[in-house]
Amino acid sequence: MNEYYGKAAAIVLATSFLSGLTVRNAWAQHTSAPAATNQSADYKQVLDQADKEDKETYIESYVSLGYRHDHFLEGLNGEELRTHWQQAFGPSGRLTAGIDLAFIDIRGDGSNAAGIGDIRLDFRGLISMGARFKQASGIEVIAPSARHQLLDNGQTVLGLLWGFSAKIAGRTTLDGEARYRKAVSSRFGTPELNNLGGEFILTQAFTQRFGGFLDSDNYHEFSVHGYVTTLKIGAEVLLDRQKKWSLSPYVLFPFTQAARHLETDGAAGLDLTFKY
C-alpha cells in the first residue's frame, strides 16, 4: 500500500510543479512591463546549480555536504553522509575533476553495517557552449572501497557519459544525459553491474534565488534483466547574495521493482553546497 501512496505523492508533486510552470509562463505572456523586468533578471545561477551533481554540463568548482535517509525492501534503513568535491581547470575552466565519498550506516532486522561506500571519481569536459545550448562528455570510475555488501556494490565500475543543457524558456531549462556503465570486477561475488540509460532534468526558476527540479532517471540493468526508473523532486535555494552558498532538499521515489531492489524503496535528503 505504501508503494501506491508513494507513487501518488510523486505524481501530485510533479503535476503541481508543471502546473506552476505553465501558470507562470501564461502570466508572463499577459504582462508587459513586468515581463521586460523578468527577462533582464539573471536566473542562470539557480537554473545551473539545481541538481548540479547530475548535470554533466555543470563545469564549476564547488564542495558539497549531503545527508540522505533511505528505506530498503529488506526492512533496512540507511543513513548516509556524503561529501562531493569538484574542481574546474584547463583552458577557460572547461574541464573538471570530481570525487564523491560517502559514510553509510545501515541497520534493521538484525543486520547492520557502517563505514565508507565505494569511492566515485569523475572527469568532465565541455564540448560546446552557446546562448541556449551546451554539451559535455565525461568518464567515471567507481573504486570498490566498501567493506560490507550492505554498504555498497563493492565493484570496480567504468562509465562513459554525454550530456546537454537546453534553455527552453526564460526561466526553464532541460538537461539530459546518456550513459553506459560496466563493472570489471566484484569484491563480494555479486553479479557485475552492466547498464545503459539516461536521465532528464527539468528545472524551473521561480526567483533569482529559488528554483525547483524534476529528475527522471531511467536505465536497463542487464545483470538482472530489469528496468530501473526513479523520480527525484527537489528545490534549490541560494542562501546569500553572492550566490555561493545553496541548500537543496529532495525526495526520491522508485517506480519499478528493479529500482526498489537496486536503488531504494524511498529516500529523502538535503545537500549544502559552497561554490568557489
**What is the secondary structure of 245-268 as a DSSP string?**
EEEEEEEEEE-SHHHHHHT-S-EE
What are the helix (H) ranges across the chain? 2-29, 33-40, 44-49, 257-262
Q: Is the pLDDT of residue 23 over 60?
A: no
Q: What backbone torsions phi and psi does residue 16 show, to the nearest 5 degrees?
A: -60, -40
User: Looking at residue 128, what is its pLDDT?
Assistant: 96
pLDDT tens digits, one per residue of 181-221: 999 999 999 999 999 999 999 999 999 999 999 999 999 99
Q: Cell for 144?
A: 570498490
User: Looking at residue 22, what is its pLDDT?
Assistant: 44
Q: Is the pLDDT of residue 35 over 60?
A: no
pLDDT tens digits, one per residue of 222-260: 999 999 999 999 999 999 999 999 999 999 999 999 999
Is CATH 2.40.160.40 the right assignment for the domain spanning 2-275? yes
Of 147, 82, 137, which Cα lies nearest the Cα of 114? 147
Spatial neighbors of 11 by CB under 8 A, at least 6 apart, are none
Residue spans per domain, the chain: 2-275
Assign residue 119 a region (left: φ > 0; alpha: ψ between -120 and 50; beta: otherwise): beta
At 81, the amino acid letter reads L
DSSP label at residue 90? S
Q: Is the pLDDT of residue 29 over 90?
A: no
CA atoms lying within 13 Å on the CB side of residue 213 = 32
Q: Is the pLDDT of residue 119 over 50?
A: yes
Rounded CA-CA distance 262/177 in Å is 20
User: Looking at residue 14, what is its pLDDT?
Assistant: 52
User: Looking at residue 41, what is its pLDDT?
Assistant: 58
CA atoms lying within 13 Å on the CB side of residue 85 = 4
Q: Is the pLDDT of residue 36 over 80?
A: no
Q: What count of other Cβ atoms lies within 10 Å of the Cβ of residue 31?
A: 11
pLDDT tens digits, one per residue of 125-161: 999 999 999 999 999 999 999 999 999 999 999 999 9
User: Looking at residue 253, what is its pLDDT?
Assistant: 98
pTM comes to 0.85
Beta strand pairing call for 194-207 and 172-186: antiparallel
DSSP label at residue 118? -
